[in-house]
Chain A
Amino acid sequence: MSITYLEAIREAQAKLLRDDDRVFIYGQDVGGNFGGAFKATKGLAKEFPGRVLNAPISEDAMVGTAIGAALQGMRPIVEMQFADFSSIALNQILNNAGTHYWRTNIPIPITVRLPSGGTKGSGPFHSQSMESLYAHYPGLVVMTPATVEDAYTMLIEAVAIDDPVVYCEHKYLYYHLKADRLPTEGLPIGKARIAREGRDLTIVTYSAMLHESLTVAEEFANEGLEIEVVDLRTVKPLDTDTVLASVARTGRLLCVGESFPWGGATAEVIARVTAEGFHLLDAAPARINAKDTPIPYHPNLWSAHRPSAKTIAEKARNLLRE
């Protein structure tokens, strides 16, 4: 048997609906026989009548409604059709859900699922990676699972967490990533994972860029260069300790992310490592992100816009030369 990243997300939701009657799913086209734009809720409306509900094209009100339901003890999962449209719900996510515990002492246990990241031909409004934007604001946990196993266990954890969680699932990984079976347990939330051990350079990354980075690491291994790859898993909280420990072993740091380059998760990692582990570095740390333009439609442009194994390898090579 093999299971894809997308199926893992569906299975996690089926389990959540089965095990916990506080859970319901709210989003555009998630209900009926349709099962969502990407089929992440396929069959669930039928299996769990009244608990997988189509919402109008009202992202702000979808999240507002989820917040209200959470105040009544429910555990809503909101599916954004694409991460990009969560911009309409920023107010509810950042200003309402993100401030509520701090202001009133009552946390808001909602999970907002964001189908994120680029796929060929999707263009400026169906390709965005928004984890850095959400991580910037207080009051949210931001998950960026990169594996089938994490997609499954982290979504289950997301719903169990009493605070609002932004769960960034990568659309490219939906079908490209397969595992033999679903895990029963994952690493604790907030803990990064050493996806590959190495001694010459640390690459810190998350989500789909993990796989580009692993490709580079394999390639370099043929030349006798060992890259250690750290998968952050959650960009907030950010596991600084695991990153620092890795840099202590390798002395070199490259951060790779798919979101826009100004600020963000990669800049945050570098800021922390330079502040806390300057003495560990043998070379100036580097980072790669997407370009500082909207995300292009055409595959020729798109593949040059985001980091790829090729551009990561170039950066890594430069860093290793220093």
Chain B
Amino acid sequence: MLQAAQRSEKKTKGKKTAPHERYLEAYRWMLQTRVFEDKLASLYRGGLITGGVYVGRGQEAISAACGMFLQKGDIFAPLIRDQAGRSAFGEPLIDVARTYLGSRQGPMRGRDGNIHRGKPGQGQLAMISHLGAMISVTVGVLLAKKFKGETGFVGLTTIGEGGMQSGATHEGMNIAAVEQVPLVLVATNNHYAYSTPNDREFACTDLVDRAKGYGFEGYTVDGTDLAACLDVIGGAVKRARAGRPPQLVVASVLRLAGHGEHDDASYITDEIKREPFAQDCLKCAEKVIVDLNLADAETLKKWRDEAAAEVENAVATAQKEAAPEAGEEDWCAISMRHLVDQIP
């Protein structure tokens, strides 16, 4: 695996990060995400979160790699299992805590919740639920940047194997290739869309084969292997940035949680849990770190403690903040106030 990590360095020279440094940085985003999402899950179980909680357990390696190669001026359109990538891209934990806990100071001000958040002005688009819809929006942002003469930027968006079957995904991928925008689409096959297994989702041999049909370049990656994720996703970002056609990366993992925290996922079979792709990417990364002595036990513990402290801090801050007040809302869905329909 270190070999893969070293390869990844060769292919992404721009950033000048030693392979194990990047690996460790990614690991720390993964770790922070795991600690944070465990906390969110426990708050949910304690009845302290209104609405759903959706975690990326098992997908942190893929997601961290999605965020880590993006720079200022790039676009990230994450979906529901992308906390690690969002954090690596620059989303502060407090934004997440505020959104889940309904603080009026959060980016969504209580108007939208949980994963439906973003700061489009800073390049992180605010997903809508409808799967596949954000692909063409990302294309539009990239197209406009092209119109404006900007260069060297990329956009990365994610999708599950379930969302990949929507018409919007098809239209979005096709239009990305027609417009030749620097898009990376990272599709994670976690083997279930909510409760539906792969054999009721699609009938092709491998989703990556679709790349050719759309005019994308396609790659697969083992989502449990952090070094491979950094290598393949980093490579895709680099190629898109260099003006290659849009890139599709299909990652394989098992979702190691319910669809949301309300879901006990009892439909996930024991058999599939024994598959190699069912390993926990975080544990795999830890094993690499220990086996190759990339960090000592003390450092690992320090990182864990730091992550816990950051999470506690974010949650405690958001919990102290005021909730939105209906009486203080202006209830206007358009920005031009003189055009608001005055409903008697």
Chain B residues engaging chain A, CB cutoff 8 angstroms: 107-108, 111-112, 116, 118-121, 125-126, 128-130, 133-145, 147-148, 167-168, 171-172, 174-175, 178-179, 332-336, 338-342, 344
Across the interface, do B341 and A68 meet the contact criterion of CB distance under 8 Å?
Answer: no
A198 on interface, CB distance cutoff 8 Å? no
Contact of A72 among B134, B135, B145, B341 (CB under 8 A): B145
Q: List 11 A-B contacts (CB under 8 A).
A: A56-B175, A58-B136, A59-B171, A65-B140, A92-B133, A100-B126, A162-B335, A162-B336, A163-B335, A163-B336, A240-B342
Residue of B nearest to A110 (CB): B140
Across the interface, do B112 and A96 meet the contact criterion of CB distance under 8 Å?
Answer: no
Residue of B nearest to A74 (CB): B144
A71 to B128 Cα, complex, angstroms: 15
Q: Report if A190-B339 is in contact (Cβ < 8 Å); known contacts: A71-B120, A91-B133, A163-B334.
A: yes
Residue of B nearest to A188 (CB): B338
Q: A58-B175, A61-B171, A64-B136 are in contact. List 8 more A-B contacts (CB 8 A).
A: A62-B175, A65-B140, A65-B143, A66-B140, A69-B143, A71-B125, A71-B141, A162-B335
Q: Report if A74-B112 is in contact (Cβ < 8 Å); known contacts: A91-B168, A272-B344.
A: no
Residue of B nearest to A273 (CB): B344
Across the interface, do A240 and B344 meet the contact criterion of CB distance under 8 Å?
Answer: yes
Interface residues of A in 100-136 (CB under 8 A from B): 100-104, 106-107
Across the interface, do A141 and B334 meet the contact criterion of CB distance under 8 Å?
Answer: yes
Which residues of the other chain, A, contact B128 by a CB distance below 8 angstroms?
Answer: 95-96, 99
Which residues of the other chain, B, contact A276 by a CB distance below 8 angstroms?
Answer: 344
Question: Distance in Å from the Cβ of A56 to the closest Cβ of chain B?
Answer: 6
Q: Report if A61-B342 is in contact (Cβ < 8 Å); known contacts: A67-B140, A72-B141.
A: no
Which residues of the other chain, B, contact A1 by a CB distance below 8 angstroms?
Answer: none
Which residues of the other chain, B, contact A76 by a CB distance below 8 angstroms?
Answer: 140
Contact of B168 among A55, A64, A140, A240 (CB under 8 A): A64
Question: Distance in Å from the Cβ of A3 to the closest Cβ of chain B?
Answer: 27
Across the interface, do A103 and B171 meet the contact criterion of CB distance under 8 Å?
Answer: no
Interface residues of A in 119-171 (CB under 8 A from B): 138-141, 161-163
Which residues of the other chain, B, contact A68 by a CB distance below 8 angstroms?
Answer: 125, 136-144
A68 to B130 Cα, complex, angstroms: 16
